[in-house]
């Protein structure tokens, strides 16, 4: 079974903190994605990566950065957390050829 | 934003009825996929339809694709209470690895 694991299910951070969200997949997928999900807005793409050390901005990259040093791991970084970054964060991976995406269980981040 | 849209935003039906939800997208695609999300969980893949296909079936699911209108529909026949979930379409843009989801339809099936 494909497994995408996000490091935390729930996270509470203070405004201004630097926050790391980690995602690991075990299927040697080339593509990895970070989305945030807010009520009524669906999933919005923050960043994606199609290979090690490669990254591209999604639709809402402001306030975020990413790191992909190893193929299996894709990290989302909130440089200085703000309350408007309180959200559900979902990581996904997919093989080249766009068959299907596999999702982690999500990290519900609250910034206070 | 390249985000697609789904309608309706929410749908409430009786068990045994059919549920239809629609998705519109903005760019040329290689394929379109539908996912289900149970409350508070990650998304699960349901079905994929390629850009050169017009209709596809999988069990109680029927998906149509109209690339000229940049739209797709998902039909769930003979719905069950267990079908209660949010449903999302997702598209890949041609020539890119970008993978965009729609805004979702919340389906509630009443027993």
Residue A45: the pLDDT is: 95
- Tell me, what CATH number does B74's domain have? 2.60.40.10
Chain B residues whose CB is inside 8 A of the A44 CB are: 1, 3, 101
Looking at chain B, which residue has its C-alpha nearest residue A91? B42
The answer to whether A1 faces chain B, any CB pair under 8 Å, is no
Of residues A34 and B98, the one with the higher pLDDT is A34
Q: Nearest Cβ partner of B3 from A42, A92, A98?
A: A42
Quick check: A106 and B42 CB within 8 A? yes
pLDDT at residue B43 greater than cutoff 80? yes
Number of domains in chain B: 1
Closest CA relative to residue A109, chosen from A24, A39, A12: A12
Query: Strands (DSSP E) along A1-112, which ranges?
Result: 4-6, 10-13, 19-25, 31-38, 42-51, 54-57, 64-70, 73-78, 87-94, 102-103, 107-111
In this prediction, residue A6 has a pLDDT band, given cuts at 50, 70 and 90, of very high
CA of residue B97 relative to chain centroid, distance: 20
Quick check: A99 and B48 CB within 8 A? yes
Q: In a 3-state reduction of DSSP, which class is residue B83?
A: helix
Chain A residues whose CB is inside 8 A of the B9 CB are: 40
B54–chain A nearest CA distance, Å: 18
Note down the domain range covering B47: 5-110
pLDDT tens digits for range B56-107: 999 999 999 999 999 999 999 999 999 999 999 999 877 778 889 989 999 9
Note down the domain range covering A61: 4-111
Number of domains in chain A: 1
């Amino acid at each position: 079974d494909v497994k995408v694991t996000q490091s935390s299910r729930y996270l509470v951070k203070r405004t201004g903190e630097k926050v790391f969200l980690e995602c690991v997949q075990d299927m040697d997928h080339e593509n990895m994605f970070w989305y945030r999900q807010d009520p009524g807005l669906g999933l919005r793409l923050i960043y994606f990566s199609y290979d090690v050390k490669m990254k591209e901005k999604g639709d809402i990259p402001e306030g975020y950065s990413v790191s992909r040093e190893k193929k299996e791991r894709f990290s989302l970084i909130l440089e200085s957390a703000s309350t408007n970054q309180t959200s559900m964060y979902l990581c996904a991976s997919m093989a080249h050829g766009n068959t299907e995406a596999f999702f982690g269980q999500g990290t519900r981040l609250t910034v206070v | 934003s390249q985000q697609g849209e789904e309608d309706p935003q929410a749908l409430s039906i009786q068990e045994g009825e059919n549920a239809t939800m629609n998705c519109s997208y903005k760019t040329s695609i290689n394929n379109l996929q539908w996912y289900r999300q149970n409350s508070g969980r990650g998304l699960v893949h349901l079905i994929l339809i390629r850009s050169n296909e017009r209709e596809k079936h999988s069990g109680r699911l029927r998906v149509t694709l109209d690339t000229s209108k940049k739209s797709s529909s998902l039909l769930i026949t003979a719905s069950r209470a267990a079908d209660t979930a949010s449903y999302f379409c997702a598209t890949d843009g041609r020539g890119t690895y970008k993978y965009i989801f729609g805004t979702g339809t919340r389906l509630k099936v009443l027993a």
